[in-house]
Structure 1
Amino acid sequence: MNASIIQLLERAMDLHRWQKQAIVFAMDMVLLILATWIAYSLRIGIWVYWNQAIASILLVGIPLTITVFTVTGVYQAIFRYAGSGMIATLIRSFLIYGIGMSIAFIFIGVSGVPRTMGALQPIIFFMLVASSRIMARYVLVDLFGRRQFDGNIKHILVYGAGDAGQQLVNSLRSEHDIKVIGYIDDDKRLDGQKLDGDRVYWSGYIREVIERYAVTDVLLALPRISRKKRRNIVDGLREFKVTVKTLPKLRDIVGGNVSISDIRPLDIEDLLGREPVTPNELLLGRTIVGKNVLVSGAGGSIGSELCRQIVKIGAKSLILLDISEFSLYSIEKELRDYCADNQRMNITIIPVLGSVADKLRLAEIFKSHDIDTVYHAAAYKHVPLVEANPLEAIRNNIIGTFELVNAAYDARVTDFILISTDKAVRPTNVMGATKRAAEQILQSFADISKITRFSMVRFGNVLGSSGSVVPLFRRQIEAGGPVTLTHKDITRYFMTIPEAAALVIQAGGMAKSGEVFVLDMGKPVRIEKLARTMIQLSGLTVRDPDNPDGDIEITEVGLRPGEKLYEELLIGEQPKTTKHERIMMAHEGYLDWNKLSKLLHSLDNCRIPEDAINLLQELVPEFDHRRDNLVRKRAND
């Protein structure tokens, strides 16, 4: 491209928006005159540059063009984003313009002007204006934009030739660092066809397409497909050195319109392929609809999601209890905004700053708010931190649970549901032991309670929670590695936060009292395989002895204090099924109340960590802190 032309384009790009619109308006007026001259000359069979008939046509056409183009927003469009949306706007505008011209020259008539000009002139005018927009976009983006861009060009394949894929490609066209190779689709009948100039390839030819066009990125534009189908597609792409990203589900895309801003990295749920089960509405509503509900730890990962779902289900009031000021502020604001946007102003939201271990504060809360249901999610859960601070963990997780349970019992609350963890099963760390102790407190109260139904829900890791490995791995990959594992053989159960929260609520709806509900977490995931998959789907390779020239190394840093290689969900065997396919039920032993209460009193007064851990081992007989040290030593060796 000529240097002077490039300089002229650069100056034009720097003009104010109103100046650009003025230039486009002037161009349209020139095209209007040109269209009138061409149409009239074609109609009479000779070239006429100016006469009274042409003047009459322009006398009607100019004010009509200005009015219609202004009202329909023709001058609000941006040339570099010209596509089907702009053409649709022009079509609407010219339909109105054509009707106006037809009325003036076909039905009413103007002396000296052929009636056919009412149809011929708008057609030619539309062709000229549409061509000018397409040409402007080509010059600004394909010629000027790409020539000015001196970085790496990404070669993009869009997986999915449906509406979402086409909208995404239209959005990508304006990006200087992107070249769209075409579409991939599983429908073989579409192979070889073109969508707005871009070819569709059958998925069976994906290897050839990636290799022939040096594809760098594959974007999954399949917002309606199941997780299982998405996982199968992702597994098929792992062998190629391409970055894989995806669109969220269609309900999560604002207005159903897809743009480049909707593209996101693959989440682990895209890799697990596990489909959520449709919730049982009756179980969801039993402990919530029309009730006053308290959630402890309301600002945490699980607590905040419980709050979101409780508001959507339809509680009478929701009491948010949290010790963190910022977390409490964040969830309260989010819920108030949701209620305002969705006409849910009949729900009362009450933020309460406080600790579950504060007996007097809890008594005030239960007295003031007539609470029907409690979801107890407040706990210290980070294994190494809890291991380093056992006294605080005991005070919060055990004594806090006792005080909250006791306050609920005294207030004659109807339902109390404890959020527990798989680490409570044969615990080798303080965190797991404190949660198993919390379970025993509820089991003991369930024995003596005639009114309150006490139940526990036990599950494994939730995706996206604080401390989750997925965001950690993603940050490490973006930084160039290494990706760190505590051990190559470590496995974990995973579940999405919304699914876990919904199952917790439904489990609470089945409680009669004293049950330990266990959520079906699916198959355990090997963390080393997860790390490899995330590296490969980032378009990179793993550096190991088999591939010394790879991009990202995976290193082992050793098991952390209190960490297990494998997590379990049951202490006993053969859990009972329930009316929900993802919820099981276990009946597990616990200490009698006399022994339990004495140990709780001793723990509450203990200030020596070693003594506290010894007391904890009495309270939770299956807790073996020494076994943790031995297992960790052997694994790290």
Structure 2
Amino acid sequence: MKQENGKRAMTAGLRRTMVIFVLDMLCIAGSFFLALWMRFEFRLGAIPQMYLNEYLKIIGPWIVICLVVFQLFRLYNSIWSFVSIDELFRIILAYGVLLAAGLAYVLILKIDMPRSFYFAGFIMSFMSTTALRFSYRFMRQLMAGISTEKSERDRILMIGAGEAGRQLIREINSNPRLGSRVVCIIDDNPSKRRRYLDGVEIAGGRQEIPDAVKKYQVNKIIFAIPTCDGQDRKEILDICSKTGCRVQAVPGMFQLVNGEVSVSKLRDVELQDLLGRDPIQVNLEEICRYISGKVVMVTGGGGSIGSELCRQIAKSNPEQLIIFDIYENNAYDIQMELRHTHPELNLEVLIGSVRDMGRLDDVMAKYRPELVFHAAAHKHVPLMEDSPNEAIKNNVFGTYKMAMASVKYGVKKFVLISTDKAVNPTNIMGASKRLCEMVVQMMNRRSPNTDFVAVRFGNVLGSNGSVIPLFKKQIAEGGPVTVTHPEITRFFMTIPEAVSLVLQAGYYAKGGEIFILDMGQPVKIDTMARNLIRLSGHEPDVDIKIVYTGLRPGEKLYEEILMAEEGLQETSNKLIHIGKPIVMDDEEFCHQLDRLEKACEEETEDMKDIVASVVPTYRRKK
């Protein structure tokens, strides 16, 4: 089937080339005959027979010379739908060569024709063969415009009068099947204002977006500035989100470099575009260098963070990747994905709990991992408020047992996934993660051969249980969208950003650090919900209601990143900082852990009070 289609395509291409050959021959012959006819005032009978005979003698060889030169300059290889300045430049070069060839032709054959014949014939030949190539595109655009006006689905405002915008405008306006038309452009460069790009007016800067949407009856906006920094992107998209238009964006700079900017590559604008900062950049070479050739274990490897850890680790050529998770469905999904994307990967997927010391001993003794990324944890704040003993069992003692097994079996680096909720926690989940950080710092002081570190970050966009999937589901169902409090704020990052931070922290780790990401400004959840509603083409509180449900047990309005007494140190990545360890009594902490463990075994009703006595910064809400 593919061979038949290929043969048909080749036949059609050859047929088109032959048509162009014939049309070029007619243009050249007609141009020089018209030049001769013009010389004698468009009276055919006035042309001397000697000139007619000379014309018939020389025109055949001259046509052959022209066609050969055209072929040398690849004038038969262009796609006429997209003929452009490049083709015009090659036509000019071809006629430069033909000018020299024509002079030689006349001198060698001693051709005797009126001088106007040569000059006018050459000019008209150039104009007609050039017009021939551009006429197809012109007619196609004209018909596309007529067709689009009749069946127009989208009237598009393009943001960005650069290369990405130009490529998209050309594709959209020349393809009637898209049913779309770019009707205006927005660009902040004042020198471009009121000028035109591919026939489309540049209407002004970002502040003119609302007026342009009304004036040109726009129903779709395309953000085509792949190099735009985070703050400018946020400001522009904030304006767009208030217009009621659907908003799409080019994916990124590498698509532009690779020539991949096209309508098919556009994506809907996501809330990560509205974070107001540039994506976190990490040193991939450093990450690859310390992971390559190592046996790496990821606990909780099927979760949102754990699975992304596995994806990025798999790209760094580890000797072996061990995924350890209690949830078999999650583990199975990431196993199937990695076997498909990295068939060469030495992958082991194991089911088990970090609370089971026997299972940990068995796994660690058999595989001897050198790097451990500990992502296994209970993380849902309201659920843990109702089951505090489970939060301590899984988070604290799962971490403690995993840390002890790591020391016992010679792990070089142990990286704990922590959270900003561990800072001055007001809920048992945050307090349990603060206890995990204390475990890691104690274990680092007691274990000179293993570097223990923690990585702390905020909420992750799109992770299991985060507000974004919940909001999207509520919007799809027609609302209402539920927000706990109109003033509640959170720090956000994307899953790949969070994971790249974790991996780079592992490289920086010397032991005992708590790594913290500078995540920019906190985001108001109410604003996020309203933007998501608008980006979905609805109006908040009109099409979809927003309902405030009140703060949940253990929830606070504002998350913090650092405890006041920790301070900050910079790393070579300016967005990654190190919090200094808090001084504590390790012996006393061990006794407190024993007390916590006994309380878990007894299923105490007083777990929150016991935790509050161990974690001084735990501000339990009554």
Q: Please tell me the TM-score bracket, short chain as reference.
A: 0.7 to 0.9
Which residue does the alignment assign to 2:47?
none
Match of 1:259 among 256, 262, 273: 262
Q: Distance in 1 between matches of 2:71 and 2:85?
A: 18
Q: Give the 3 Å change call, closer, same or farther, for CA 206–442 of structure 1 in structure 2.
A: closer
The amino acid of 2:212's aligned partner reads: V
Which residue does the alignment assign to 1:8?
none
CA positional deviation for 1:104: 8.6
What do the CA deviations read for 1:340-398 (whole angstroms, capped 9, x no partner)?
8xxxx7xx643322224343443343334442221111223233455566676555434
Query: Residues 139-150 of structure 1 correspond to what in structure 2 (within 5 A)?
Result: 139=143, 141-147=144-150, 149=151
Query: Residues 73-92 of structure 1 correspond to what in structure 2 (within 5 A)?
Result: 74=78, 77=79, 82-83=81-82, 86-87=83-84, 91=88
The amino acid of 1:556's aligned partner reads: Y
Number of aligned residue pairs: 584
Q: Distance in 2 between matches of 1:107 and 1:478?
A: 74
Q: Give the 3 Å change call, closer, same or farther, for CA 433–277 of structure 1 in structure 2.
A: closer
Equivalent position SS for 1:576: coil
Q: Distance in 1 between matches of 2:473 and 2:125?
A: 59
* C-alpha contact 1:245 1:265 (8 A) present in aligned 2: yes
Which residue does the alignment assign to 1:435?
433
Answer yes or no: is 1:554 the counterpart of 2:551: no
Which residue does the alignment assign to 2:539?
541
CA positional deviation for 1:526: 1.6
Which residue does the alignment assign to 2:193?
191
Which residue does the alignment assign to 1:155?
155
Answer yes or no: is 1:247 the counterpart of 2:250: yes
Query: Residues 200-215 of structure 1 correspond to what in structure 2 (within 5 A)?
Result: 200-203=202-205, 205-215=208-218
Which shows bigger deviation, 365-374 or 180-189?
365-374
Q: Distance in 1 between matches of 2:279 and 2:532?
A: 22
Q: Give the 3 Å change call, closer, same or farther, for CA 40–509 of structure 1 in structure 2.
A: closer
CA positional deviation for 1:187: 1.5
Which residue does the alignment assign to 2:3?
none
CA positional deviation for 1:339: 6.6
Q: Give the 3 Å change call, closer, same or farther, for CA 523–32 of structure 1 in structure 2.
A: closer
Which residue does the alignment assign to 1:9?
none
Answer yes or no: is 1:170 the counterpart of 2:170: yes
CA positional deviation for 1:88: 5.9
CA positional deviation for 1:300: 2.9
Equivalent position SS for 2:235: helix
Match of 1:132 among 131, 136, 142: 136
Q: Give the 3 Å change call, closer, same or farther, for CA 254–362 of structure 1 in structure 2.
A: farther
The amino acid of 1:306's aligned partner reads: L
The amino acid of 1:167's aligned partner reads: Q
Q: Give the 3 Å change call, closer, same or farther, for CA 108–189 of structure 1 in structure 2.
A: same
Q: Give the 3 Å change call, closer, same or farther, for CA 122–216 of structure 1 in structure 2.
A: same
Q: Give the 3 Å change call, closer, same or farther, for CA 368–620 of structure 1 in structure 2.
A: farther
Q: Distance in 2 between matches of 1:129 and 1:515?
A: 66
Answer yes or no: is 1:41 the counterpart of 2:22: no
* C-alpha contact 2:148 2:179 (8 A) present in aligned 1: no
* C-alpha contact 1:562 1:628 (8 A) present in aligned 2: yes
Query: Residues 226-375 of structure 1 correspond to what in structure 2 (within 5 A)?
Result: 226-237=229-240, 240-251=243-254, 255-275=258-278, 279=282, 288=291, 291-310=294-313, 315=318, 317-324=320-327, 327-328=330-331, 331=334, 349-357=346-354, 358-375=356-373
CA positional deviation for 1:33: 4.9
The amino acid of 2:429's aligned partner reads: M
RMSD of aligned Cα (Å)? 4.4
Which residue does the alignment assign to 1:4?
none
* C-alpha contact 1:167 1:257 (8 A) present in aligned 2: no
What do the CA deviations read for 1:473-512 (whole angstroms, capped 9, x no partner)?
3454455543221332322121233333333344444545
The amino acid of 1:42's aligned partner reads: L
Q: Distance in 2 between matches of 1:593 and 1:566?
A: 32
Equivalent position SS for 1:552: coil
What do the CA deviations read for 1:56-105 (whole angstroms, capped 9, x no partner)?
66677789989998972x4xx4x7xx34xx33675588689869988997
Q: Distance in 2 between matches of 1:573 and 1:25?
A: 75
Q: Distance in 1 between matches of 2:490 and 2:614?
A: 21
* C-alpha contact 2:160 2:187 (8 A) present in aligned 1: yes
Q: Give the 3 Å change call, closer, same or farther, for CA 53–482 of structure 1 in structure 2.
A: farther
Which residue does the alignment assign to 1:576?
567
CA positional deviation for 1:446: 3.3
Q: Distance in 1 between matches of 2:551 and 2:215?
A: 44
Query: Residues 6-85 of structure 1 correspond to what in structure 2 (within 5 A)?
Result: 28=20, 31-45=23-37, 72=77, 74=78, 77=79, 82-83=81-82
Equivalent position SS for 1:488: coil
* C-alpha contact 2:377 2:394 (8 A) present in aligned 1: yes
* C-alpha contact 1:101 1:119 (8 A) present in aligned 2: no
The amino acid of 2:606's aligned partner reads: N
Which residue does the alignment assign to 1:452?
450
Q: Give the 3 Å change call, closer, same or farther, for CA 202–612 of structure 1 in structure 2.
A: same
Q: Distance in 2 between matches of 1:53 and 1:108?
A: 9
Structure 1: runs of 5 or more not aligned = 1-15, 544-549, 631-637
Equivalent position SS for 2:606: helix
Larger Rg: 2
Q: Give the 3 Å change call, closer, same or farther, for CA 585–409 of structure 1 in structure 2.
A: same
Q: Distance in 2 between matches of 1:310 and 1:26?
A: 55
Q: Distance in 2 between matches of 1:409 and 1:211?
A: 66
* C-alpha contact 1:408 1:416 (8 A) present in aligned 2: yes
The amino acid of 1:530's aligned partner reads: M
Q: Give the 3 Å change call, closer, same or farther, for CA 254–563 of structure 1 in structure 2.
A: farther
CA positional deviation for 1:320: 3.3
Which residue does the alignment assign to 1:419?
417
* C-alpha contact 1:228 1:275 (8 A) present in aligned 2: yes
CA positional deviation for 1:583: 1.8
Q: Distance in 2 between matches of 1:436 and 1:613?
A: 21
Equivalent position SS for 1:170: helix
Equivalent position SS for 1:542: coil
Q: Give the 3 Å change call, closer, same or farther, for CA 372–60 of structure 1 in structure 2.
A: same
The amino acid of 1:579's aligned partner reads: E
Q: Distance in 1 between matches of 2:322 and 2:497?
A: 22
What do the CA deviations read for 1:141-185 (whole angstroms, capped 9, x no partner)?
2223542x2x6x433221211111111211221254323122222
